[in-house]
Structure 1
Amino acid sequence: MGKEMKTRDQIDSKYKWKIEEMYADEEQWKVDYKAVEDKAKDYVAYSGRLGESPQLLLEALQKKDNIWLILEKIYVYSRMKKDEDNRINKYQAMSDKSGSLIAKTSSYLSFFTPELLEIPEEKLKGFIEAEPGLKLYEHVINELLREKAHVLSKDEENLMAQMSEIAGATNDIFGMLNNADIKFGTIMDEDGDEVEVTHGRYIGFMESHSRRVRKDAYEHMYQAYDNLKNTLATTYNYNTKTDVITARIRKYDSAREAALSGDNIPASVYDNLIDTVNSRLDLLHRYVEVRRKMLGVDQVHMYDMYVPLVEMPKAEVSYEKALEMMTAGLAPLGEGYLKKMNDGIAAGWVDVYENEGKTSGAYSFGSYDSMPYILMNYNGRLKDVFTLVHEMGHSMHSYYTRQNQPFVYGGHSIFTAEVASTVNESLLMHHLLDNCKDTEERKYLLNLHIEEFRTTLFRQTMFAEFEKLTHEAVEKGEVLTAEWLSKEYDKLNKKYFGDNVSYDPYIAMEWARIPHFYRAFYVYKYATGYSAASAISGKILKEGAPARDAYIEFLKTGESNYPIELLKIAGVDMSSPAPIEQAMDAFEKLIVEIEKLV
């Protein structure tokens, strides 16, 4: 690709997604936009009539789906066109207009759920029996009925909707402090140049092979948070209070129950995760000792936890080579999966290279009736190959679901979505380790794999445990002061990392810089998803076709049932600790192997 950033028109079309398949003529986008506006306004005519007859209810459900189907396409297209080059005003405006249309449409359709729930349950069930077309919507209706006890009256729901902007204030305040106001100062980098410490550069400093650089960046980062600790503690305290009070208003027993309720996840799943990880923390402590030996230091500090133990392979991996590696790594998923994947790549699913103005990072996106597109900023590193494989997992999940489910079940919960992407990463890693001949490269891959376990399974579980502690404290009437938060976080960190780490006061402030804490009881899904994916990929590699076929069936299910039930199709029961125990066993094998290579 060369060093100079290219403009979008300088990139070969074979490396760009075929987004024009969504709207060959953008005039049609405007037609669709107007159609959604009109249909949403007209939809209000169903208000007060949902309980009239089974046929009318079916018609209302189908029309609602049709509105969202077109609206999703409008939004996805404009958002992805903007992501191609954020500097183009036309697509900025289209994307903004799409966002406004979503808000407007939501308000027109907002009567639907409260009104549906006013229909007596027996009458609704009678409707489903009387009208075969309603069978399709049975899970949706049952899902609404399950949450009925927590839906308020129309007036109360209206009040809650109006208060929602204020309820999100603490998140916005933290975002402004964290992204706009806070400054971390400057340090000298490896070359002796003075460089500002920023969020974007911080992880690069933490991966530096210069310990002085790591220490300086770490101390500058945490000192800045420490200077604002009382403001940040007050912000987080009121964010947690908002969760607790909202849960009480909606008649949940706790904020955690309210957060887990959407996916119908029992609290035992959350507790199993924390308890199982806690029972195997000795493995993380052993890894810290491996780090100490490989880094050649007397004691490991928290700023030593991210530096790669082995230098990264320097060889550039071409995109074509990455596709070959992906095909070889995902071979255990079978010919059918590989053919659909490679046909999709040839058809224009992937936008490969960075260009001026392009959105950074990577994602899988698309509407129900479009390709499952992938945005990449491919840069020729092994890390980019894993990113491609990860996003392809999401896109193949979307592909299988959309081919097999109606629009109403065409999405995925986060609980299941991360499984598909991580299974792919796990299979690629196994493939690379199985075919690795060079000891240093093997060490590098093992370290990479271990770090995935550490940062996803252990770290996110630690975060989940912290959220449980903070919310329980507020529910008991305690106040989350800076002192309380730092003390509890420090205790947790010491428990997880063990006695082999030399602690300093700074890590106790880590709670202050985690944006996820402002969307509580969410991070545990990364850890459960990782555990489920580890168990599924292990089954596929060990059992072959039966496990593979069961997994493909799971990919077809979308949101047609609750996440726990859907994962059982793939042979994983997340209501038991078994998948987390299996993930821990896999982690232990990696620790044993790397210990032998030190």
Structure 2
Amino acid sequence: MKEGKNQALKTRDEIAEEFKWDLSDIYESDEKWTQEFKEAENRLPEMQDYKGKLANSADQLLNGLNLSMELSRLLERLYNYAARKSDEDTANNSYQAMRARIQGLFSKFSSSISFMVPEIIQIPTDKLNSFIEEKEELKLYQHYLDDIMRQKEHYLSPEEEKIIALASEITQGPENIFGMINNADMSFPTIKGEDGEEIEVSHGRYIELLKNDNRHIRRDAFKAYYSSYQELKNTIATTLSSNIKSDIFYTRVRNYNNSLEASLAGNNIPVDVYNNLIDTVSNNLDTMYSYVDLRKSVLEVSDLHMYDLYTPIVKDIEMKISYDEAQDIILQALKPLGEEYLKVIKESFESSWIDVYENKGKRSGAYSSSCYDAHPYILLNYNNDIDNLFTLAHELGHAMHSYYSNQEQPYIYANYSIFVAEVASTVNEALLMQYLLKTTDDENKRKYILNHHLEQFRGTVYRQTMFAEFEKLIHEIAEQGEALTTDILSQSYHQLNEKYYGENIVIDEEIDVEWARIPHFYYNFYVYQYATGFSAAITLSQKILKEGQEAIDKYLNFLKGGSSDYPIELLKGAGVDMTKPEAIEKALDLFSDLVAEMKELL
């Protein structure tokens, strides 16, 4: 990669409109948002009309549930607009304030409905069933009510639930603080390019720089990037520690054994699923060590460093893919999912669902965000390479899952569980990979694509499982009453890198502070689902390609399922049982096969 001489990031205004999302599908203007915010704020007290009365009659229960859903839907729309606006430029104080206002209102809403679950739990089962029989409209809430009763022992009195709800705005603080540090306040040094030009390191450019053929650029970018985290590591350690203390607070007040159990309980996921992932991957690290050895051999370096993990091991191949080309490739790759699926993908490209390029102050990374009263939105920081092609396919998978769930489910069941959130995105990626391998005749390009697939496995199965083990470990340390100092966090992270990558790579001291840059550590045991979702998706994509329409129909029904059933059951309906290790083992077997194939080709 050769950077041009002028590499300052563009401002938001300098990005062409065709590459920006159009938020007017949520609200026409900031003024309209403000008007509806005030309406929502004024309506919150209506919830108090049902306090202490939900058990009185089927009508009171139904009307209380309906109002809570109506207000939740309204607040979700308000939040989506404010959050998308603030992510366009995290240094824009006006939109940061807007986001803070709606977060505050969400906290008040949580407080206003905090009486509901405790009251419902106090309704005798026979009486609750009679309400449902009496009032046909209550049948909509059957699964929701069953789920509440399942967790009965972990709910407290109405007064205690109100206190917990009031605490939410405070306990969100660590994540919000980290977001501002990482996206708005943090700056990175410049490094010298191949021709001596200054290159400004950024979140969006970092991985691209690590792919550079020039090892000095890789090393300098690596050191420059982590130097900024080294300077702030004590602050970020305190922020992360505070976030974990929030997790422990909720764990203890809700009477769970530990934070992991508390996190998984909401989606009815057995703790064994989490531990099984770590154990299964830990028992299959030899293939990862073999891949590290292959990388070291092909790169012909005496010592392989962490900054050598991203550069392609197939040299003299440059697969630059423009955004326009990426759209065409994805439409071809996803043809196995049918015309209905492709029609919506085309709409996302043509109707400004996607914010494409990086600009100064824009939130880093990529995501898809769902809004029930509008189409999904996708944020990218697109660079013209194969990784960004896969990122686009990935986020479109999320968007399609949201689109189908929103279309087919009532609001209460539209948001799918985070446990299945990474399945649709990874099915898209798996189909894209198969398409590229099938249509690429050039042997060098094939090796390049295989290299990318190997990196997907490394990054999604092995790396995310390492993250999951780190997250479990630091929660356990905190739960035992030990302080999560910078030294403990860095030492623990270093040891896990040694475990997952083996002896034939230098675990550079800079990587010890990588924990400081991972936003997902603030999401309460989220990352393991990348690995489980990837494993499930590999199985599903193979079924789609081999079994045809029957497998496609089951898969689309899964996408349309939202949260109408527990995620484990929804996946079983699609054809994958994640309570067993087979899916993870199949994914790891495929990784082993790919490493062996790459060795032969090279």
Alignment of 1:287-298 (within 5 A): 287-298=291-302
Contact 2:218 2:307 in 1 (8 A): yes
SS where residue 374 of structure 1 aligns? strand
Alignment match, 2:80: 76
Matched, 1:118 2:122: yes
What residue is the counterpart of 1:148 in the other structure? 152
Assess, with a 3 A threshold, how the Cα gap between structure 1 residues 585 and 62 changes in structure 2: closer, same or farther.
same
Task: State the distance in 2 between where 1:240 and 1:25 align.
Answer: 38
What is the letter of the counterpart of residue 323 of structure 1? Q
Worse-matched range after superposition: 378-387 or 186-195? 186-195
Select the residue among 243, 247, 251 that pairs with 2:251.
Answer: 247
Distance 1:392 1:586 in 2: 24
State how far apart, in whole Å, the 1-side matches of 2:179 and 2:94 are. 28
Residue of structure 2 in register with 1:106 after alignment: 110
Distance 1:170 1:392 in 2: 29
- Work out whether residues 155 and 254 of structure 2, in 8 Å CA contact, stay in contact via their aligned partners in 1: yes
In 1, Cα distance between equivalents of 2:515 and 2:83: 32
2:450 alignment partner, SS class: helix
Larger displacement relative to structure 2 (465-474 or 431-440): 465-474
Say which is worse superposed, 555-564 or 541-550, in terms of deviation: 541-550
Q: Name the count of aligned residue pairs.
A: 596
User: Of the candidates 564, 570, 583, which is equivalent to residue 568 of structure 2?
Assistant: 564
The CA distance in 1 between the partners of 2:524 and 2:482, in whole Å, is: 18
Q: Any conservation in 1 of the 2:90–2:363 contact (CA below 8 Å)?
A: yes
C-alpha contact 1:433 1:442 (8 A) present in aligned 2: yes
Distance in 2 (CA, whole Å) between partners of 1:502 and 1:261 is: 39
- Cα deviation for residue 587 of structure 1 reads 1.2
Per-residue deviation at 1:576?
0.8
1:581 is matched with which residue? 585
Question: Which shifted more, 583-592 or 22-31?
Answer: 22-31
Paired residue secondary structure (2:310)? coil
1:298 partner SS: coil
* Within-5 A mapping of 1:68-467: 68-80=72-84, 97-164=101-168, 167=171, 188-192=192-196, 202-219=206-223, 239-310=243-314, 314=318, 317-343=321-347, 345-346=349-350, 349-352=353-356, 361-376=365-380, 378=382, 380-467=384-471
Structure 2 counterpart SS, 1:74: helix
How many Å separate the matches in 2 of 1:178 and 1:359? Answer: 9
1:573 positional shift: 0.8
Residues 184-210 of structure 1 deviation map (CA, whole Å, 9 limit, x = unaligned): 766544444566766555434433323
| Residues 386-430 of structure 1: per-residue CA shift (max 9 Å, x gap) | 232222212221221122110111112222121111111110111
Conservation of the 8 A alpha-carbon contact between 1:397 and 1:420: yes
> Higher mean Cα deviation, 474-483 or 105-114?
474-483
Q: Which runs of 5+ in 2 are unaligned?
A: none
Q: Tell me what 1:497 maps to.
A: 501
Residue 458 of structure 1 and its aligned partner are, at CA, apart by: 0.3
CA 1:454–1:112 in structure 2 vs 1: closer, same or farther (change >3 Å)?
same
Query: 1:182 deviation in Å?
Result: 7.6
**Offset of 1:483 from its aligned partner?**
5.0
**Structure 1 letter corresponding to 2:117:** T
8 Å CA contact 1:16–1:348 kept in 2: the answer is yes
Deviates further, 341-350 or 126-135? 341-350
Q: Is the 8 Å Cα contact of residues 203 and 364 (structure 2) preserved in structure 1?
A: no
Q: 2:543 aligns with which of 517, 536, 539?
A: 539
- State the shift of 1:518 in Å: 3.9
Per the TM alignment, residue 48 of structure 1 is displaced from its structure 2 partner at its CA by 1.4
Query: RMSD value over aligned CA atoms?
Result: 3.6
Report the CA distance shift for 1:17/1:109 in structure 2 as closer, same or farther (over 3 A). Answer: same
- Per-residue CA deviations over 1:52-79 (Å, capped at 9, x if unaligned) read 1012211111122222223333333454
Between 215-224 and 108-117, report the one with greater CA deviation.
215-224
CA distance in structure 1 between the partners assigned to 2:14 and 2:224 by the alignment = 41
User: 1:187 and 1:119 mapped to 2: Cα distance?
Assistant: 65
1:464·1:524 contact (CA, 8 Å) conserved in 2? yes
> CA separation in 1, counterparts of 2:349 and 2:184?
39
SS at match of 1:458: helix
Q: Mark the CA change 1:344 to 1:246 in structure 2 (over 3 Å): closer, same or farther.
A: closer
479-488 or 282-291: which moved more? 479-488
| Distance change in 2, residues 1:475/1:294 (3 Å) | same
Determine helix, strand or coil for the equivalent of 2:368. strand
Assess if the C-alpha contact under 8 Å between 1:413 and 1:563 holds in 2.
yes
1:60 aligned partner, one-letter code: G
C-alpha contact 1:8 1:356 (8 A) present in aligned 2: no
Which of 111-120 and 407-416 deviates more? 111-120
Task: Please name the residue that 2:60 is paired with.
Answer: 56
Which range moves more in the overlay, 265-274 or 160-169?
160-169
Between the aligned partners of 1:455 and 1:70, the Cα distance in structure 2 is 37
Mapped to 1, the partners of 2:590 and 2:142 lie a distance apart of 40
Is the 8 Å Cα contact of residues 362 and 387 (structure 1) preserved in structure 2? Answer: yes
Alignment partners' CA distance in 1, 2:99 and 2:174: 26
Alpha-carbon contact 1:40-1:109 (below 8 Å) kept: no
Equivalent residue for 2:558, pick from 547, 550, 554? 554
The amino acid that maps onto 2:397 is: G
Q: Cα 1:161–1:21, aligned 2, differ >3 Å: closer, same or farther?
A: closer
Task: Give unpaired runs (5+ residues) of structure 1.
Answer: none
CA contact (8 A) 2:289 2:502 kept: yes
What's the offset of the Cα at 1:301?
A: 2.0
Cα 1:506–1:350, aligned 2, differ >3 Å: closer, same or farther?
A: closer
Q: For residues 466 and 375 of structure 1, do their structure 2 counterparts lie closer, same or farther at Cα, with a shift above 3 Å needed?
A: closer
Whether contact under 8 Å (2:497, 2:507) holds in the other structure is: no
Amino acid at match of 2:568: I
Give the drift of 1:131: 1.9
Moved more, 295-304 or 202-211: 202-211
Contact 2:367–2:395 (CA under 8 A) maintained in structure 1: yes
Tell me the distance in 1 between the aligned counterparts of 2:507 and 2:357.
42
Asked if the contact 1:364/1:391 (under 8 Å) is kept, the reply is yes
Task: For residue 103 of structure 1, report the CA deviation from its aligned partner.
Answer: 3.6
- Determine the C-alpha separation between the residues in 2 that align with 1:90 and 1:222: 30
Seen in structure 2, the aligned counterparts of structure 1 residues 231 and 8 have a Cα distance that, compared at 3 Å, is closer
Checking the alignment, whether the CA contact within 8 Å between 2:372 and 2:414 is kept in structure 1 is: yes
Deviations 1:50-107 (A, max 9, x none): 1110122111111222222233333334544566677988867765554444344333
Q: Percent of aligned positions with the same letter in both sequences? A: 49
**Structure 1 residues 540 and 322: alpha-carbon distance in aligned structure 2, compared to 1, 3 A threshold:** same
Rounded to whole Å, the distance in 1 between the matches of 2:183 and 2:75 is: 31
256-265 or 384-393, which deviates more: 384-393
